[in-house]
Copies of this chain bind each other. A is one copy, B any other.
Amino acid sequence: VNALSTHAARSVAPAHIVGHPKLSDVAALAGVSIKTVSRVLNDAPNVSPDTARRVHESITLLGYRSNVIARELRGGGLSNLVGMVISDLGNPFYAGLAAGAEETISEAGLDLILATARDDGERERALINSLLERRVRGLMIVPSGSDYSYLHADRQRGFSFVFVDRPAPFLDADTVIADNEGGIRACVGWLQKQGCKRIALMADLESIWTAEQRIAGFWTAAAEAGYPRDALTVISGVHTAEEARERCTDLLMGEVDGIIAANDLIALGVGEAAQGREGIRIISFDDFPSASLLGVVTLNHDARELGRLAAETLLARFENPTYERYLTEVVPVSLRGGAS
């Protein structure tokens, strides 16, 4: 798919030109020069009230709409668009991320342009390039790719990137991630406190950084907690709620008495599969709406909040685009509802 690539729009019918009136049309109708119209539009001083009125009349009469493309070009090239690349809007976690980011971005008077990479590194790269060509003001990315060195020059040049949820391999840039290891440690701790003897982690594709981190964290935390190796199970490569439910039956057959769901989708599947089963504890890394209903305990890992934080980090970076210290914010996560 070459979506979003430079000339991608060719695949769609040629744009029938929409006849927007321009400054000169307004000027002609009002009997003034285009500069005067421009002044009126920008409430610049030195316009006689009478002229201003005439211009305004012509504007509404013609249905004139200022052309941001032209203004931005003239103004030096940077748009007030901010790009965001996520993997999938259908996933509540990423939708929440986008919602939080959009909120903060629009409060700052900027617009968000959203694209979904579907965990496809190739597609993601095309999307990012296209966004860059559109001269967006900055970019928030939930990386799906494996090498971001191609963005080095842009970053050096003062273009602002923030990577969210996962760091960018081979690129030093601002990053906002959750404390995956700490979160998993909290999960393990909670299960242990509940008296679980044999515990399992179910995680997404290991190619996804967060999954890999959480798996690694699980081994470490479980060992530290004193669980013997043969009391531990890890099931990975689970990408949908449906798959989670299916893979879960194996666990439930076994002697596992505690399960950690590494994300919301998995928690949904595991929660459903374990409905009505006694003596099995379930905890989810991500927070999600129907968790309590399913009897699933969660961490306070909130997508919307993460999105807001990412956007704030980007806005902060705008103030100092070429400052060479890139920061990685690690958002702590703990059991929802506070301590213990």
Asked whether B9 lies within 8 Å of A109 as measured between CB atoms, the reply is yes
Measured CB to CB, the closest approach of chain B to A33, in angstroms, equals 21
The reply to whether the CB of A177 lies closer than 8 angstroms to some CB of chain B is no
Interface size of A by Cβ–Cβ distance < 8 Å?
A: 81
Interface locus among A98-106, A193-201, A204-212, A218-226: A98-106
Q: Which residues of B contact A108 (CB under 8 A)?
A: 11-12
The reply to whether the CB of A277 lies closer than 8 angstroms to some CB of chain B is no
| CB < 8 Å neighbour of A66 from B2, B13, B70, B133 | B133
Q: Which residues of B contact A72 (CB under 8 A)?
A: 69
| CB < 8 Å neighbour of A63 from B65, B107, B157, B318 | B157
Copy number of this protein in the oligomer? 2
| CB < 8 Å neighbour of A18 from B107, B159, B294 | B159
Asked whether A318 lies within 8 Å of B89 as measured between CB atoms, the reply is no
Measured CB to CB, the closest approach of chain B to A258, in angstroms, equals 21
Asked whether B18 lies within 8 Å of A158 as measured between CB atoms, the reply is yes
Residues 251 to 283 of chain A near chain B (Cβ within 8 Å): 268, 271-272, 275
Asked whether B268 lies within 8 Å of A80 as measured between CB atoms, the reply is no
Write the A73-108 contact mask toward B (1 if CB under 8 angstroms, else 0): 100111111000000111010011011001100111
User: Which residues of A come within 8 Å of B, CB atoms?
Assistant: 1-6, 8-13, 15-20, 63, 65-70, 72-73, 76-81, 88-90, 92, 95-96, 98-99, 102-103, 106-116, 129-130, 132-135, 137, 153-154, 157-159, 241, 268, 271-272, 275, 289-290, 293-294, 304, 315, 318-319, 321-322
